[in-house]
Structure 1
Amino acid sequence: MKARLTITEVAEQLGVSPKTVARWERVGKIRKPKRDWRGWRVYDETDLEQIKEFHEAVFEV
C-alpha cells in the first residue's frame, strides 16, 4: 500500500513549510498531487520522491 501524506507531513520531511511546498506546486516546480474528497492534497511515495529530488537539486549542500 502506498503512503498517503499530507502537505504538512511532506514539508516536515523536507524541513520546509507547507506554504513552500504549495508555492512550488503553484509555480510549476513540482507536479500537482491528487486531492481527497475534502479537496486536501494527498501525496504518495512517487510524489514524495519527486519533491525530494527537486529539493536536493535546489538546496545542494
Structure 2
Amino acid sequence: MALFIHDAAQAIGVSPATLKRWFRSAKVRDVARDRNGYRVFEPEDITRLRAYANQRFEPSAPPPLSRPAADRAMTTMR
C-alpha cells in the first residue's frame, strides 16, 4: 500500500519537511510521483528511508563534561 508524504514521514519518524529536504539536497534518492505530482512511498521506500534515518540519528554517547562543569556538578550533588 502506497503512502503520501505525511504518513510516510510518520512511519519513518521524521517530519515531512525533513523528507523534502533530504530529497532536495539529494541525500537520498527521490520516490515516484503520482499523476498529480505527489510523492508516493512504497514499502521499499519506507524501509530504505527508515534505514537512512536510523543511520543519521543513531544515538551516541553524550559529550564529556569539561572539568569545571564536572566539578560544579559534583559539588551541587553533595
RMSD: 1.0
TM-score (norm 2): 0.70
TM-score (norm 1): 0.87
1:23-46 alpha-carbon deviations (Å, 9 max, x no partner)? 011111111111101100001011
Specify every segment of 5 or more residues in structure 2 that has no aligned partner in the other structure, as ranges. 60-78
Rg: which structure is higher?
2
- Runs ≥4 in structure 1, deviation > 3 angstroms? none
Bigger fraction of residues in strand? 1
Alignment length, in residue pairs? 59
Q: Contact (CA 8 Å) 2:2, 2:41: kept in 1 or not?
A: yes
